[in-house]
């Protein structure tokens, strides 16, 4: 099935997804993460510190902030920590049930990136039985929030007839166009190359 060949590389796709989602995070204007750590009283401030370390690819330094915030129920940190467990970042080890639990919690709190991450488990069948209807449900929720990855994922579902009544390239292109308009490069690629 050539049209979904790119789905056979979920690690690369999910990493691209997570990194593209970073542009939605609250931006950190400080160049030095340690300076941010001086004043870390609020959850948002601690999240910005974690994001600063993450953007500098110092994943181990970001981890304790994400863990503490996730334990406090901070949704964006739950999403980020879900990524750590999904891909085994910083010695966490791959733990799909833990990643799914974190993504689901964040998704239920309105984090669109987590909706896409959670739905992706059901699309690929990572640690859970494939369920295209459930994947579609979460991608639709993310798309309603104008999440480019949710929109892109809906396009893939319609392109391949997964969780929908039938394949529908017109709908696939519709969703990819919306995602591309929001800056999603993979959706733009699919618009120009999908048959």
Check residue 167 and report its DSSP letter. Answer: -
pLDDT beyond 90 at 27: no
Query: What does the block give as tokens for 14?
Result: 């999910």
- Residue 35 pLDDT: 75
Entry pTM = 0.81
Question: Is the Cα torsion angle 22, 25, 29, 35 positive or negative in sign?
Answer: negative
Give all domains of the chain, ordered by start, each with its CATH number: 2-193 (1.25.40.10)
Question: Is the Cα torsion angle 6, 11, 12, 13 positive or negative in sign?
Answer: positive
Question: Is the Cα torsion angle 12, 149, 191, 157 positive or negative in sign?
Answer: positive
- Residue 122 pLDDT: 98
Q: How many helices (H) and strands (E) does the chain have?
A: 11, 0
* Pair 122, 134: CB distance under 8 Å: yes
- Residue 31 pLDDT: 56
- Residue 7 pLDDT: 45
Write out pLDDT tens, residues 102-156: 999 999 999 999 999 999 999 999 999 999 999 999 999 999 999 999 999 999 9
């Amino acid at each position: 099935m050539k049209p979904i060949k790119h789905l056979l590389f979920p690690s690369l796709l999910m990493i691209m997804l997570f990194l593209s989602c970073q542009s939605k995070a609250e931006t950190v204007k400080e160049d030095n993460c340690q300076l941010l750590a001086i004043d870390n009283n609020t959850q948002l401030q601690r999240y910005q510190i974690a994001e600063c370390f993450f953007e500098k690819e110092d994943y181990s330094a970001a981890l304790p902030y994400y863990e503490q915030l996730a334990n406090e129920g901070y949704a964006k940190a739950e999403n980020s920590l879900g990524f750590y467990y999904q891909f085994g970042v910083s010695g966490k080890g791959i733990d799909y049930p833990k990643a799914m639990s974190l993504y689901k919690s964040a998704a239920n709190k309105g984090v669109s990136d987590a909706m896409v991450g959670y739905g992706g488990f059901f699309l690929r069948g990572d640690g859970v039985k494939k369920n295209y209807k459930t994947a579609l449900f979460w991608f639709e929720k993310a798309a309603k929030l104008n999440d480019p990855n949710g929109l892109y994922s809906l396009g893939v579902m319609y392109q391949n007839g997964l969780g929908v009544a039938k394949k529908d390239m017109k709908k696939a292109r519709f969703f990819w166009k919306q995602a591309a308009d929001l800056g999603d490069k993979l959706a733009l690629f699919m618009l120009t190359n999908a048959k």
